[in-house]
Amino acid sequence: MKSHHFLQLIALSALWGASFLFLRIASPVLGPQVLATGRVLLACLVLLWLMRQLKQVWPGREHAWPLLWLGVSTVALPFWLFSWAALRLPAGYSALLNATAVLFGTLAAAAVGEQRLSVGKVLGCVLGFMGVGLIVRLGPVEPNASTIAAALACVAAAACYGISGPFIKRHTARMEPLALATALHLGALLVMLPGGLWTLPEARWTPGALASMAVLGVVTSGLGYWMHLRMMRHVSSVAALSSAFMIPVFGVTWGHVFLNEPLSGGIFVGGLLVLVAMALVTGFNPLRRPAPLEPLP
């Protein structure tokens, strides 16, 4: 992996780590269904505007059903599950559980033959989970049915991201990342819109909730997802998912700064482990010399 791709992974981690903060702010006020639907709607508007400005070509009709399935599995379901879990879990917990996407992605990539499981990748997964365990202080959360269900919802959302990764990777070779991101969000919106409209009367429209939904839709979903797909063209699906290991670093930090959630003393050691884990999973080595260019015939 090239250095600028590695830096993009860290930037995405900071961006998506903040999404758990905004979910905690907006979900109890708007409701998970309205929040998730509004987030996707705003992402669609931004991506459609970019499609128009950049004169991008839409995917062919033969891709409609696969893109609809991927839109549900990689946008609609994860967005709703994390929004629902935000009603019951601190931002740091959700960010930690989101890191399991790398495990699911590694297994899915191996299952479809995209890449083989190596000792380095397995070790990277283990170190990553150790790192996020140090970063997030798993404090006294009441182990009742509600919190367990919320934790399972986060793991299910992460599984959606991880398992869909290799299939998204294949589509980035067939169509432009912007067109792919737009199609996925439009497919998700078609599925989510009825539920969002049904629960709309229950939403409370506060400035903080609206601002949070705007950032989630425009920045973390629309622009962030486009950036993610552009990078996925050049790296493996597992490498692209490895940003999930860094997300807890930022998710816990943002939660501590803005929501006064407790900050673990192991964040610095854990952060170092996470960086090593990302390097192992992605194959990034800053000390490795680039391969020499072959002379022209």
CA distance 138 to 29: 26
CA distance 244 to 279: 13
Are the CB atoms for 247 and 154 separated by under 8 Å? no
Please give the model's pTM, rounded to 2 decimal places: 0.82
The DSSP-derived string for the chain is --HHHHHHHHHHHHHHHHHHHHHHHHHHHH-HHHHHHHHHHHHHHHHHHHHHHHTPPPPPGGGHHHHHHHHIIIIIHHHHHHHHHTTTS-HHHHHHHHTHHHHHHHHHHHHTTSS---HHHHHHHHHHHHHHHHHS-------SHHHHHHHHHHHHHHHHHHHHHHHHHHHHTTS-HHHHHHHHHHHHHHHHHHHHHHTGGG----HHHHHHHHHIIIIIIIIHHHHHHHHHTTS-HHHHHTHHHHHHHHHHHHHHHHH-----TTHHHHHHHHHHHHHHHHT--TTSPPPPPPPP-
Q: Furthest-apart CA pair in the chain: how many Å?
A: 69
CA distance 12 to 224: 7
CB-based contacts of 265, cutoff 8 Å, min separation 6: 137
Q: How far is CA 54 from the centre of its chain?
A: 25
Instruction: Tell me the pLDDT tens digit for each residue of 12-61.
Output: 888 888 899 999 999 999 999 999 999 999 999 999 999 999 999 888 88
* Closest of 152, 92, 100, 104 to residue 128, by C-alpha: 100
Least trusted range by pLDDT, from 36-45, 148-157, 252-261: 252-261
Instruction: Tell me the pLDDT tens digit for each residue of 181-219.
Output: 999 999 999 999 999 999 999 999 999 999 999 999 999
What is the rounded average pLDDT for all residues in the chain?
Answer: 82
Token pair in block for residue 179:
């067109």
CB-based contacts of 170, cutoff 8 Å, min separation 6: none
Q: CA separation (Å) from 112 to 107, 117, 168, 170, 294?
A: 9, 12, 12, 11, 32
Backbone angles phi, psi at 277, to 5 degrees: -60, -45
Q: How confident is the model at residue 9, as a pLDDT? A: 77
* Residue 254 CB coordination number (10 Å): 22
Instruction: Tell me the pLDDT tens digit for each residue of 56-96.
Output: 988 888 889 999 999 999 999 999 999 999 999 888 778 87
